[in-house]
Amino acid sequence: MKLSEYRPRPRLRVPGSRVERAAVPAIDAHNHLGRWLTCHWAVQDVGALLALMDACNVRAIVNLDGRWEEELEDNLDRYDRSHPGRFLTFCHVDWNLIGRDGALAASLRRSVEAGARGLKVWKDLGLHVRDDAGRLVLPDDPRLAELWETAAELAVPVAIHTADPIAFFDPIDERNERYEQLLAHPDWSFADPDRFPRFDRLMDALESLVAAHPRTTFIAVHAGCQAEDLGRVTAMLATYPNLHIDIAARIAELGRQPRATRDLVMRFPGRVLFGTDEFPPSTETYATHFRFLETLDEHFPHSADDPPLMGRWHISGLGLPDYVLGQVYASNAGRLLGVST
């Protein structure tokens, strides 16, 4: 048998549960429903998605795929305008506009006037985006200040994804805990220091950005973009009141350190947002997330995949109290997005 074929079945006998519906009507504050990442509509049947949301007690989904101009209009037409209150679409900006005075700010203004509820900034900023001189552009580049200040003026949050799991910056070898994942997706590796900044440099840039623009509301997605270092996430939340985080696509990391994660959420219950980043959404995805947040179950799968994409380990639940669940599931996102909950 090849090691890649090894599928050990845990024989641990522990109580388990299934949570089909969120404890309160939830807002999935991080998902992808558009064509940006998939080249086709990520959700083919919007009616079926609405039925799934109703079944799972998901009141609304934030769609981070709006892009700009015609693509934004298409997303708004398909989701926000056709189903008011159920979908909230974020826009992007075209980084080719860097260096053109006022262009990024003007683009954001147009998008918000059209109906965008926030700005999505992807990891290409810091890893791939280059200016006309071929220089890599990091999130704290002074030329982007107009964009962040305009977001503050328009009172829209900035959902920013900087870097990726720390292991993606390590060599793809026998010591890498994401070895299988990186073998399957070698383009996800940022191990080459001649091509990519180091992980800590990117986190420093993120922190510098948040510190430099205290009027701007930032949501550092994926558990502050550093789910493996909750100590730094905690320190940043304590230092910068304009910073929030979501848990999207990181319950694998958070669930293997449940006490530290619970401590963080309990310390900052108004600053953590529920999100999945699983598209298209499914009942299994939501049930796993609800179990993670609501129960004290131990040693359960974080994914239905075999082997799981995000790591060969199991997770434990947080067992958050009801008043915190209400904030994490809905009221935090509602406050940032101007949605009543």
Q: pLDDT by residue (tens digit) across 116-132?
A: 999 999 999 999 999 99
pLDDT value at residue 127: 98
pLDDT value at residue 173: 94
The answer to whether 316 and 258 are in contact (CB under 8 A) is yes
Number of neighbours of residue 155 by Cβ within 10 angstroms: 13
Which amino acid, 313? W
Number of neighbours of residue 323 by Cβ within 10 angstroms: 9
Q: Give the contacts of 156 (CB within 8 A, at least 6 positions apart).
A: 108, 112, 116, 117, 118, 119, 217
Record: fold of 19-337: TIM Barrel (3.20.20)
Domain ranges of the chain: 19-337
Residue 311 phi, psi (nearest 5): 135, 140
pLDDT value at residue 323: 97
The answer to whether 138 and 197 are in contact (CB under 8 A) is yes
Q: Give the contacts of 267 (CB within 8 A, at least 6 positions apart).
A: 234, 237
Q: pLDDT by residue (tens digit) across 172-211?
A: 999 999 998 999 899 999 999 999 999 999 999 999 999 9
Q: Which residues of the chain have pLDDT under 50?
A: none
Q: CA dist 96 to 90, 108, 128, 144, Å?
A: 19, 14, 12, 12
Separation CA 94–CA 105 (nearest Å): 11
Q: Is the peptide bond preceding residue 171 cis, with omega within 30 degrees of 0?
A: no
Separation CA 34–CA 211 (nearest Å): 32
pLDDT value at residue 340: 84
